[in-house]
Structure 1
């Protein structure tokens, strides 16, 4: 039986099915329903919610604070820094300059109404700035008490190894799903090191499979293809902490229920075979 929890950084226990807040609509007309989704996630027992300054340029963080502050003691809010908003003719761009990262940490603390961020992730590695400088800036914020744990997003095995020479890395957030396996080697490295792996876009495109092995296993379990995709991820590695996102309560409830699905070894292998083909 797969474990239902994981300890971020070996310390902070969370349920292994989190929630990605990116799809929460911050517009005034949709704000009430978005707040309801965030609150329902907590009611359902979700203890890790992922956001980022990139999501509506901080408005997503503010919405979570509006919905959930003061936060329950068992809730971990993770956010990300390292992307600069558009400025005149310039489009949004990666920015890993230490001064910019430190500024974004302070902005995240203010918007989330936190004294410290429990999991602060580098949204992308800026190729124009040495990785050691980017991770070093976050380590300095950690030493200052503004960050508890440091994470990375969209990194290679080599970048993960380099970052770990500078600071303890508690999580990696790369795109990964049953049918998207580009970062298999990164997942394996995280599994070996006990680093949380937070796959983004964890369901698509498996949820859209109308037939075949995914649909067959869904029928056997009385579940949806999306739930099967999430159950497969939880079975795949003990460090896996999927963060499916949605802006609808019904979809949220469907996703969270996937944590209770148990795949047999035969079902897991059949699904794994689909992905490898």
Structure 2
């Protein structure tokens, strides 16, 4: 395990333990797991994993996301949902775990545990392990829509109670009793998501198949850092309302875009 990964895991564990007695308890809030499926329309092994992800998405405690990758496009079919950034994200996860290769289908739970995406037992074990507290989503995320803006609010860590990340904006009610704020380094991301889309695949290993994809991530918008202050972020809805997008997911993730660590908090919101 790399020193960065070890430090990130220690931070996540500390966050979980420190929030147990807080005013906004993490274990009273949903969701309890974020599952990212790295998949491709050009991969013959992926449809069973796509089906499994759709089943996981029915659990209200799980945010299950499809991240289509582009590194199989050369085999005869260009994935209609793929983004190169998803391939880079999967590679970054692998580098931090010390893995030499990336593959599809693969699921990553809470930015920490990886499993073969079609292996139901391994995936469910990873989710169960996250829920029992080895690493958990310990930062409450308040997500609301106000007029033409999506508003995200995070509580304060120790040392920053009452502070606000947005000038002139009040801090959210209550504070999270997390470790010293100077130890926290995370980014806040918002992702436009399409709940479901069926794709007819014309060539490649899945030629002739129609595959339904669930909770398809269509973009990543970095709202800014979270370093432990009571923070309020706003994003104009026009940046999120792409064709077919009907929900948004917000993630607070430690590390950096090139070295993503444990996901510390998450929330989702359906769009009208």
Normalised to the residue count of structure 2, the TM-score between the two structures is 0.29
In proportion to residue count, which structure has more helix?
1
Normalised to the residue count of structure 1, the TM-score between the two structures is 0.29
Using CA pairs under 8 Å that are at least 6 residues apart, name the structure with larger relative contact order, 1 or 2.
2
In proportion to residue count, which structure has more strand?
2
